[in-house]
């Protein structure tokens, strides 16, 4: 019983993290129809910015309780600098190309950003333990869990519900749904599609950066951080259906639970099983579990 | 005359739209049949079902006595039923000659797995001549010889149509379904093109069904007319009779000006 | 018919490598052999690209080929270079034959992502496999040639010579294949698959065959790379390895069977030079190069040479 509970809690935390990490990827695909490999770069950028700025903040003796806000601010800052730059200066001119070509372009950008990160932050690991340790731990059925992990869960809920609310209850959201369905007709009706693309790309990248920033206190931030997250995010998004918000949630839960189970019971298959599920879904329902007959919706 | 192709009570619905309601027709060997009807009447759906692109909800299709209802397009083609398209389906990035060679290559492959790797001089099944000669022969038949090195993308509309039809001839069809063979062609040329197509096609001994909106072409070339309306066949008779039918006049042809 | 000068080119390159290879410094022989290995993988990718398919997981077969060659030595004590290449080809071929039943149904981004997932599955399996050394991998026995173990100074040349012969023969075969009905079917599938089906061919079947051919080429390449580097590890299946092959293919373009090898050599040179110059910016150079090529030279570098349209 304890084992199962433990699996459950681990699963929830891991799923929450995956969901936040993958949400931006599915949003960008849903709106812009591009598979964005720079997603991993923004995750890394968020982690590095979060770790370095918060590290400096803490080193100067500023209130540690505010470090959570600093993490948020760091992710925001780095995204607002880099994302619009990429979209306006490069991506904007590529939308007419084949989707595989655009993927390769984002892959090229990812390679470039990997090294930019090394140039800016160096290759030594960043480690900020304070925000993580500060919150202590809580116990579930005798096992201790760091309270910090609840932040990841909170982040996932805020991001997911927030995005859902924006899409369905605000005017901006409804216009975005129009752009998702048909960019050309939306343009003809006077919607500034280019601006929506810019905003979407920035917002989607921000989500990745947030996931990275809030993960930073739990790991050692090193080069290559973005590499693993790319394929994991792909797996989550593909399982749920490219472009589907509820799909990303379902995909995150499935991958999270599957991974949690394997870590506890059969660690040898941990890496294999996630990609296996992804392959299975691609094999039987290539459009994902939330495939709809009509054009992709979020 | 033997029945080469028979459609039995074909029905097909797409949600609330019924594209075919119990469509039945028996096509005789060597005949030339015209399919007429307004847009949305079900003519292309009919062709799509016969060629396996769509599966009818109910009903059956028999070809030379054999049930072909569930077969995919490639199997239907290999059995001897070929079709041309309303919007010509060509390999737009390749030259006219290369378009023909793709088709010939496929025919070679269908003769056996070795055909996949066949050498240039191998005789093409159904023609008994090497690929080069077969390509030239067909191009000449359809008046495309001068265009052989042109890219399919840049061909004029009527020529694209002819290439589309020429491609169907590579597989030596017994039954040929032509979807609007003269659409997009100027009215002076329609008769000429239709004559050229039918001569080329009939020389190989095929049964022809063609969709046509120009009633003069229909009267001139069809031996029999199937009139479609709202997913049903409302008339099945020689052109002189069918075109005078009151239902056909009301839904398809229109009344003559007083 | 335009006379195809590719066989002549291949012959010239082969003679140059066999004769001149012995005089190259060891590091140069290493680079050329690795370029041949990678070029083979890229050649297979090129075949798929002609049909409009981009495989993001060719590293799967590259890695399988390498492990097959390594396993030959580790478990059976066989180290003959040709046996190694054959093992690589066989392992990759069988795997591709099976997986092809699934993959040949897909196109575009789904084909790419599924191939990616499959290669990452292999990675995951290998990383956790103790018998094969998990993340560390294992070393491979130095190759022998027809039972003779070349002296330490001659091993590299022996591998280079064997690689050159096999690779260029394969290139010749692929060149011949491109003029057959199946070879010509690839651009047709890319252009108008409905038309292909309506002419009586199964696009799925054709893609399956092409997929197996590409895998076999990658398997041979993997075996070659394994023996040249001397070491095998699961990173050979990681998606970034697949990314390298894609980069090479785009760099080279689809203009000739020789292009992938030239592209691979160029890639090796860029990689080594950029890495030596500044280890923290070589990815940047790579990314920038990729971007520039995609935007300005979508047909690859080979398109810079006067093109005789080959089919």
- What pLDDT digit, counting tens, does each position of C127-158 carry? 888 787 888 888 887 777 777 777 777 788 88
Say yes or no: B184 contacts chain C, CB-CB below 8 A: no
Backbone angles phi, psi at B10, to 5 degrees: -75, 130
Report the C-alpha gap between A179 and A187 in whole angstroms.
8
- DSSP classification of residue B250: I
What's the pLDDT at C98? 94
Q: Who's near C159: CB < 8 A, 6+ residues apart?
A: C33, C81, C143, C224, C227, C228
Q: Please give, rounded to a whole number of angstroms, the shortest distance from the CA of B106 to a CA of chain C.
A: 6
Token pair 């290539």 is found at: A286
For CA atoms C15, C18, C20, C21, the dihedral sign is positive
Percent of chain C with pLDDT over 70: 95
Classify residue C146 as left (phi > 0), alpha (psi -120 to 50) or beta: left
Report the C-alpha gap between C55 and C59 in whole angstroms.
9
Q: Which residues of C touch A271 (CB under 8 A)?
A: 120, 123-125, 127-128
What's the pLDDT at C216? 97
Percent of chain A with pLDDT over 70: 96
Contact C287 A273 (CB under 8 A): no
Regarding chains B and A, contact by 3 or more CB pairs under 8 A is answered as: no
For CA atoms A62, A65, A69, A74, the dihedral sign is positive
Report the C-alpha gap between C176 and C157 in whole angstroms.
28
Q: Which residues of C touch B73 (CB under 8 A)?
A: 194, 197-198
What residue segments make up the domains of chain C, in order of their start?
Answer: 6-304
Token pair 């065959």 is found at: C209
In the predicted structure, residue A39 carries a pLDDT above the cut 60 = yes
Structural contact between residues B34 and B239, judged by C-beta atoms closer than 8 angstroms: yes
Structural contact between residues A145 and A139, judged by C-beta atoms closer than 8 angstroms: yes
User: Nearest-5° angle of CA A48, CA A53, CA A55?
Assistant: 95
In the predicted structure, residue B4 carries a pLDDT above the cut 80 = yes
Report the C-alpha gap between C283 and C287 in whole angstroms.
6
Report the C-alpha gap between B197 and C115 in whole angstroms.
45
**pLDDT (mean) for C67-89:** 89
Report the C-alpha gap between B143 and B162 in whole angstroms.
8
* Max Cα distance, chain A (Å): 61
Backbone angles phi, psi at A245, to 5 degrees: -70, -50
C283, two tokens: 């990815």
What are the distances in angstroms from CA A111 to CA A222, A235, C282, C284? Answer: 15, 20, 9, 6
> Half-sphere exposure of residue A236, counting CA atoms within 13 Å on the CB side?
31
Q: Which residues of A touch C240 (CB under 8 A)?
A: 227
Nearest CB to A112; choose among C123, C246, C288? C288
Across the A:C interface, residue pairs with CB atoms under 8 Å apart total 112
Nearest CB to C120; choose among A94, A116, A231? A231
Neighbours of B200 (CB within 10 A): 19
Burial class (CB in 10 A: 0-12, 13-18, 19+), C231: middle
What's the pLDDT at C106? 87
pLDDT tier for residue C304 given thresholds of 50, 70 and 90? low
pLDDT tier for residue A293 given thresholds of 50, 70 and 90? very low
> Half-sphere exposure of residue A87, counting CA atoms within 13 Å on the CB side?
23
What's the pLDDT at B32? 93
Chains with at least 3 CB pairs less than 8 angstroms from chain A: C
**Torsion angle, alpha carbons of B211, B214, B220, B224, to 10:** 40
Chain C residue with CA closest to B165: the answer is: C199
Neighbours of A206 (CB within 10 A): 20
Listing DSSP states for B84-108 in one string gives --SS----TTSBHHHHHHHHHHHHH
Mean pLDDT for chain A?
A: 85
Chain B residue with CA closest to C182: the answer is: B116
In the predicted structure, residue B120 carries a pLDDT above the cut 70 = no
The residue of A271, A273, A296 whose CB has the most chain C CBs within 10 angstroms, and thus the best one to mutate to test that interface, is A271
Give the sheet arrangement for strand B207-211, strand by strand: B81-83, B175-179, B207-211, B32-36, B224-229, B232-237
Nearest CB to B77; choose among C182, C192, C198? C198
Contact A103 C112 (CB under 8 A): yes
Q: Which residues of A touch C121 (CB under 8 A)?
A: 272, 275-276, 279
Please indicate whether residue A293 or residue C45 has the higher confidence score (pLDDT).
C45
In the predicted structure, residue A298 carries a pLDDT above the cut 60 = no
Tens digits of per-residue pLDDT, A194-203?
889 999 999 9
Please indicate whether residue A79 or residue B143 has the higher confidence score (pLDDT).
A79
Chains with at least 3 CB pairs less than 8 angstroms from chain C: A, B
Report the C-alpha gap between C170 and A257 in whole angstroms.
46
The residue of A40, A231, A288 whose CB has the most chain C CBs within 10 angstroms, and thus the best one to mutate to test that interface, is A231
In the predicted structure, residue A82 carries a pLDDT above the cut 90 = yes
CATH of domain C6-304: 1.10.3470
Report the C-alpha gap between C81 and C141 in whole angstroms.
10
Q: Which residues of B touch C177 (CB under 8 A)?
A: 117
**pLDDT (mean) for A63-84:** 89
pLDDT tier for residue C301 given thresholds of 50, 70 and 90? low
- DSSP classification of residue B230: T
Contact A276 C243 (CB under 8 A): no
User: Nearest-5° angle of CA B40, CA B45, CA B48?
Assistant: 150
Contact C123 A105 (CB under 8 A): no
């Amino acid at each position: 019983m304890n084992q199962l509970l433990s699996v459950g809690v681990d699963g929830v935390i891991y799923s929450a993290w995956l969901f936040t990490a993958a949400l931006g990827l599915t949003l960008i695909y849903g709106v812009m129809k591009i598979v964005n490999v720079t997603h991993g770069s923004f995750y890394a950028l968020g982690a590095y910015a979060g770790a370095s700025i918060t590290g400096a903040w803490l080193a100067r003796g500023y209130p540690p309780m505010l470090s959570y806000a600093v993490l948020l601010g760091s992710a925001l800052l780095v995204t607002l600098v880099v994302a619009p730059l990429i979209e306006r200066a490069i991506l904007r001119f590529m939308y007419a190309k084949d989707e595989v070509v655009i993927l390769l372009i984002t892959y090229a950008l990812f390679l470039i950003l990997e090294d930019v990160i090394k140039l800016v932050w160096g290759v030594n690991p960043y480690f900020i333990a304070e925000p993580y340790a500060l919150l202590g731990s809580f116990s579930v059925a005798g096992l201790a869990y760091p309270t910090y992990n609840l932040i990841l869960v909170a982040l996932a809920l805020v991001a997911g519900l927030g995005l859902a609310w924006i899409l369905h209850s605000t005017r901006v959201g409804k216009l975005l749904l129009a752009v998702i369905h048909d960019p050309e007709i939306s343009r003809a009706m006077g919607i500034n599609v280019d601006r929506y693309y810019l905003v979407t790309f920035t917002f989607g990248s921000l989500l990745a950066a947030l996931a990275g920033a809030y993960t930073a206190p739990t790991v050692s931030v090193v080069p290559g951080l973005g590499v693993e997250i790319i394929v994991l995010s792909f797996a989550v998004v593909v399982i749920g259906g490219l472009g589907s918000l509820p799909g990303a949630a379902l995909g995150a839960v499935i991958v999270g639970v599957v991974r949690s189970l394997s870590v506890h019971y059969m660690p040898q298959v941990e890496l294999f099983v996630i990609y296996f599920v992804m392959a299975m879904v691609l094999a039987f329902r290539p459009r994902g579990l939330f495939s709809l007959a009509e054009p992709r919706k979020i | 005359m033997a029945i080469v192709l028979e459609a039995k009570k074909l029905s097909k619905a797409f949600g609330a739209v019924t594209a075919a309601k119990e469509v039945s027709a028996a096509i005789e060997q060597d005949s030339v049949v015209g399919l007429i009807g307004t847009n949305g009447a079900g003519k292309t759906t009919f062709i799509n079902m016969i060629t396996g692109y769509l599966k009818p909800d109910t009903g059956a299709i028999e070809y030379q006595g054999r049930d072909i209802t569930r077969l995919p397009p490639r199997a239907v083609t290999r059995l001897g039923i070929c079709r041309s398209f309303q919007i010509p389906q060509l390999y737009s990035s390749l030259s006219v000659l290369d378009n023909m060679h793709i088709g010939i290559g496929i025919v070679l492959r269908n003769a056996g797995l070795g055909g996949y790797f066949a050498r240039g001089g191998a005789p093409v099944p159904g023609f008994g001549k090497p690929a080069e000669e077969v390509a030239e022969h067909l191009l000449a038949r359809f008046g495309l010889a001068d265009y052989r090195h042109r890219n399919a993308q840049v061909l004029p509309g009527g020529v694209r149509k002819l290439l589309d039809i020429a491609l169907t001839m590579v597989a030596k069809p017994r039954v040929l379904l032509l979807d609007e063979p003269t659409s997009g062609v100027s009215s002076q040329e329609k008769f000429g093109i239709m004559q050229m197509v039918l001569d080329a096609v009939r020389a190989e001994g095929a049964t022809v069904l063609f969709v046509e909106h120009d009633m003069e072409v229909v009267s001139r070339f069809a031996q029999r007319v199937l009139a479609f309306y709202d997913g049903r066949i409302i008339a099945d008779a020689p052109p002189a009779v069918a075109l005078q039918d009151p239902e056909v006049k009301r839904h398809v042809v229109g009344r003559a000006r007083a | 018919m335009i006379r195809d000068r590719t066989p002549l080119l291949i012959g010239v390159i082969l003679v140059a490598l066999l004769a001149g290879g012995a005089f190259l410094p060891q590091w140069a022989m290493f680079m050329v052999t690795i370029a041949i290995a990678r070029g083979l993988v890229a050649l297979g990718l090129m075949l798929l690209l002609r049909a409009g398919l981009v495989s993001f997981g060719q590293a799967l077969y590259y890695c399988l080929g390498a492990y097959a060659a390594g396993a030959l030595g580790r478990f059976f004590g066989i180290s003959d270079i040709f046996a190694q290449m054959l093992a690589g080809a066989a392992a990759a071929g069988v795997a591709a034959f099976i997986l092809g039943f699934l993959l040949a149904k897909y196109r575009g981004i789904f084909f790419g992502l599924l191939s990616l997932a499959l290669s990452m599955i292999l990675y995951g399996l290998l990383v956790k496999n103790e018998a094969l050394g998990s993340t560390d991998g294992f070393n491979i026995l130095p190759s022998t040639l027809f039972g003779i173990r070349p002296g330490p100074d001659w091993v590299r040349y022996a591998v280079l010579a064997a690689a050159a012969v096999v690779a260029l023969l394969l290139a010749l075969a692929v060149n011949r294949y491109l003029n057959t009905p199946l070879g010509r079917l690839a651009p047709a599938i890319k252009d108008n698959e409905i038309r292909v089906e309506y002419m009586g061919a199964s696009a799925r079947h054709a893609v399956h065959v092409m997929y197996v051919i590409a895998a076999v080429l990658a398997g041979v390449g993997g075996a070659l790379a394994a023996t040249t580097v001397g070491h095998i590890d699961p990173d050979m299946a990681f998606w970034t390895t697949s990314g390298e092959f894609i980069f090479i293919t785009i760099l080279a373009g689809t203009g000739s069977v020789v292009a992938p090898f030239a592209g691979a050599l160029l890639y090796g040179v860029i990689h080594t030079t950029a890495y030596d110059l500044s280890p923290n910016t070589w990815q940047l150079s790579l990314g920038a190069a990729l971007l520039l090529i995609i935007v300005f030279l979508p047909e690859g570098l080979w398109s810079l040479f006067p093109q005789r349209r080959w089919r």
